[in-house]
Structure 1
Amino acid sequence: MIEELLPESVVAVEALRDDPLWEAPLHPEEEGFVARAVAKRRREYAAVRGCARRAMEKLGVPAQAVLSGERGAPRWPAGLIGSMTHCDGYCAAALVRATELASLGIDAEPHGALPDGVGATVFLPAEAQRLAGLAGERPDVHWDRILFSAKESVYKAWYPLTHKWLDFSEADITLRPDPDGTPTGALRAELLVPGPRVGERTLSSFDGRWAVRAGVVVTTVVVPHA
Structure 2
Amino acid sequence: MIPILPTCCTPLDAHWPLPFVLPDTVLLSTHFDPSQLAIDDFLRSAIAPPASIQRSVAKRQAEFLAGRVCARAALQQLEGLNFIPAIGDDRAPVWPSHISGSITHSTGRAAAIVAHKTQWRGLGMDLENLLDHDRAERLAGEILTQPEMQRMAAAERDQLAQWVTLTFSVKESLFKALYPIVQKRFYFEHAEMLEWTEGGEVRLRLLTDLSSEWCSGTELDAQFAVQDGQLLSLVSIKA
The TM-score normalised by the length of structure 2 is 0.80
After superposition, where does 1:13-162 map in structure 2 within 5 Å?
13-17=28-32, 25=42, 27-113=46-132, 114=135, 117-136=138-157, 139=159, 142-162=162-182
Which residue of 201, 212, 215 corresponds with 1:186?
201
- Superposed CA deviations along residues 60-109 of structure 1, whole A, max 9, x for unmatched, are 23222211113211101232110011000111100001110110100000
Decide whether aligned partners of structure 1 residues 215 and 28 sit closer, same or farther in structure 2, where only a CA change above 3 A counts.
Answer: closer
SS of 1:117 mapped into structure 2: helix
Provide the alpha-carbon RMSD of the alignment. Answer: 2.6
Instruction: Find the counterpart in structure 2 of residue 10 from structure 1.
Output: 25
Counterpart Cα distance in 2 of 1:66 and 1:186: 29
What is the count of residue pairs matched by the alignment? 215
The answer (yes or no) to whether the contact 1:158–1:166 under 8 Å persists in 2 is no
Identity %: 27
Unaligned runs of 5+ in 2: 1-15
**Aligned amino acid, residue 99 of structure 1:** T
Decide whether aligned partners of structure 1 residues 70 and 196 sit closer, same or farther in structure 2, where only a CA change above 3 A counts.
Answer: farther
Decide whether aligned partners of structure 1 residues 46 and 196 sit closer, same or farther in structure 2, where only a CA change above 3 A counts.
Answer: same
Deviation for aligned residue 1:147:
1.0
Which residue of 213, 223, 232 corresponds with 1:209?
223
The TM-score normalised by the length of structure 1 is 0.84
The answer (yes or no) to whether the contact 1:122–1:168 under 8 Å persists in 2 is yes
* Bigger-Rg structure (1/2): 2
